[in-house]
Amino acid sequence: MRCLMCGKNRDEGTFRDLFDPQDPLCEKCRSEWRRKHIRFRLGGVTAESSYVYNEAFSRCLIQFKELNDEALRDVFLYEVADRLRFRYRGYTLCLLPSSEEKSAARGFSHLRLMFACLKMPMIEPFRKVTSQDQKNLNREERLAMQDAIILKDGVQLPEKILLCDDTITTGATMLGALAALGQKAQKVRIYAVSANIRWL
């Protein structure tokens, strides 16, 4: 099997491969990711992330998201899947929206692929505000709404919600999602695969 990032053939294998042969990344590529479980508060909600957003992680994420390399789908949660499944039993994964044009061009929802390996119930209740929604607003209001997130019409929200994203940089998108949920959800948690170093 070849490492999905560096392409190196791993037939010879390292010691770790003997016990952990499924990791789609080789030991070297994996070691460039900085694994660190951190927990922090964001908009009054407990948030958790598993990796520090560094150069290696971002390279991989860009190859997956921007270059549409779907083969990388299981790379991101490979190490932490069991832990997440256990920790968030009973929760429903709520994926954050990406912009319509981007996912249309991509032809797949990258978060859906990424979180599919958890085999947990999953919904996509949000959408980004479109210019259609802003028709009757004035300029200031429109600017304020630019990156806003709203609930799709007629979504049924489950009781326990885990808001999921690939990375938390400033937290603005997450706060937008929280605002969209408002009081409608009973129990909310946040999970991002990686977090910017500032959250450490």
Partner 1 sequence: MMQCPRCLNTDKAFFYRGSRGWYCRKCISFGRVMLEEENEPVSLAPVSEGSEEYTLQYPLTKAQEEIAVKCAELIDTSDVLLHCVCGAGKTELVVLSIAKMLKEKKKVCFAIPRRQVVLELRERLAGYFPKAKVVAVCGGHTEETDGDLIVCTTHQLYRYYRVFDLLILDEPDAFPFRGSEVLHGIAETSRKGHMICLSATPDQELLRKEREGSLIRLVLNRRPHGHPLPVPQIKVVPDKVMFLSLIRWLHRHRAQSCMVFVPSIKKAQYLYWFLFLLFPCCLCTSHTENRDEVIRAFREKKNGVMLCTTVMERGLTIENVQVCVYQADSRIFDEAGLVQMAGRVGRVFAYPEGDVLFLCRRRSEKAERCVKALREANLCAV
- In whole angstroms, the minimum distance from the beta carbon of 106 to partner 1 comes to 9
Q: Specify the DSSP element, H or E, that contains 115.
A: helix 110-115
**Polymer length of the chain:** 200
Which value, in Å, is the radius of gyration of the alpha carbons in the chain?
18
E strand or H helix at 181, and its extent?
A: helix 172-181
Least separation in angstroms between CB 64 and Zn ion: 15
- Quick one: what does residue 70 bind among partner 1, Zn ion, none, with the CB cut-off 5 to 8 Å set by partner type? partner 1
Q: How far is CA 65 from CA 68, 93, 113, 182, in A?
A: 5, 19, 11, 29
Q: How far is CA 191 from CA 39, 62, 150, 184, in A?
A: 9, 19, 19, 19
Q: For residues 27 and 69, which CB has a smaller minimum distance to partner 1 in the complex?
A: 69
Whether 84 and 116 have beta carbons less than 8 Å apart is answered as no
Residue 67 engages partner 1 in binding (rule: CB under 8 A):
yes
Which of partner 1, Zn ion, none does 3 bind, CB closer than 5 to 8 A by kind?
Answer: Zn ion
- Binds partner 1 (CB under 8 A): choice among 68, 98, 103, 169: 68
Sign of CA dihedral 183, 185, 189, 195: negative
> Residue 67 binds which entry of partner 1, Zn ion, none, with Cβ cut-offs from 5 to 8 Å by kind?
partner 1
What x/- string results for residues 17 through 56 when contact with partner 1 is judged by CB under 8 A? ----------------------------------------
Residue 58 phi/psi, 5° resolution? -65, -35
Shortest CB 70 distance to partner 1, Å: 4
Task: Specify burial of residue 50 (Cβ count, 10 A radius: 0-12, 13-18, 19+).
Answer: buried
**Nearest distance, CB of residue 23 and Zn ion, angstroms:** 10
Binding mask 70-109 for partner 1 (x = CB under 8 A): xx-----------------------------------xx-
Q: Which residues here bind partner 1, judged by CB under 8 A?
A: 1-2, 4, 7, 9, 63, 67-71, 107-108
